[in-house]
């Protein structure tokens, strides 16, 4: 789903949150399956920070520090109207209270926590408002994973730390 669709279309927002709500429990309980090489490099002092595209928080769970999340995190929800931020766990609790009978049958969860659902269970799904601005802004609550960090900002971040990338995963333009 594009940001533009999310902002423009109430049905798209309901679909986004229903699918995300259904997949969140798996993402929230994700654990690493094997030793985490990047976290080990950090603990050994061989790297001073991690820049990641991951949105699941597993670098932090594994023990890596100074993590810059290029695409934000699924663990935070931000109101696009007033910029208030709450934890995803709190937001998920509010969604569960607003949708006590929502029981989507999930077979596969994508890495971003999204799941495929038929349209039928989405019709009755209720999205909750921001608790700060409460201006009917249920349509405006979004996981911070929507935020992108452009490459020039990453370079400036590294320069401000007096560092240069150890590994490069993106190609220069």
Query: Is 59 a residue of the active site?
Result: no
Is the pTM higher than 0.85? The answer reads no
Torsion of CA 121, 96, 89, 35, to 10 degrees: -50
Domain annotation covers residue 170 = no
Instruction: Judge residue 1's burial from the number of C-beta atoms within 10 Å of its C-beta, 0-12 exposed, 13-18 middle, 19 or more buried.
Output: middle
Where in the sequence is the domain holding 121, given as residue range(s)?
A: 3-160
Query: Does residue 171 form part of some domain?
Result: no
pLDDT in tens, 102-111: 877 777 777 6
**In the chain, which stretches have pLDDT less than 50?**
145-146, 167-173
Is residue 107, in this structure, part of any structural domain at all? yes
For residue 28, tell me if it sits in a domain.
yes
**Whole-number pLDDT of residue 13:** 85
> What is residue 94's predicted lDDT score, i.e. its pLDDT?
93
Specify the number of domains making up the chain.
1
- Do residues 83 and 142 touch, judged by C-beta distance below 8 A? no
pLDDT value, residue 95: 92
Q: Which of 21, 36, 59, 71 is catalytic?
A: 71
């Amino acid at each position: 789903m594009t940001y533009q669709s999310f902002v423009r279309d109430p049905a798209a927002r309901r679909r986004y949150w229903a699918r995300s709500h259904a997949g969140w429990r798996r993402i929230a309980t994700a654990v690493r399956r094997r030793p985490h090489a990047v976290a080990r490099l950090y603990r050994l002092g061989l790297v001073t920070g991690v820049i990641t595209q991951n949105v699941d928080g597993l670098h932090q769970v594994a023990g890596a520090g100074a993590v810059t999340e290029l695409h934000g995190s699924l663990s935070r929800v931000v109101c696009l109207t007033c910029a208030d931020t709450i934890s995803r766990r709190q937001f998920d609790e509010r969604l569960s209270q607003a949708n006590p009978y929502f029981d989507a049958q999930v077979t596969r969860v994508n890495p971003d926590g999204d799941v495929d659902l038929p349209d039928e269970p989405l019709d009755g799904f209720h999205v909750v408002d921001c608790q700060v601005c409460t201006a009917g802004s249920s349509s405006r609550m979004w996981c911070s994973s929507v935020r992108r960090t452009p490459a020039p900002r990453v370079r400036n971040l590294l320069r401000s730390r007096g560092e240069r990338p150890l590994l490069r995963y993106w190609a220069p333009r």
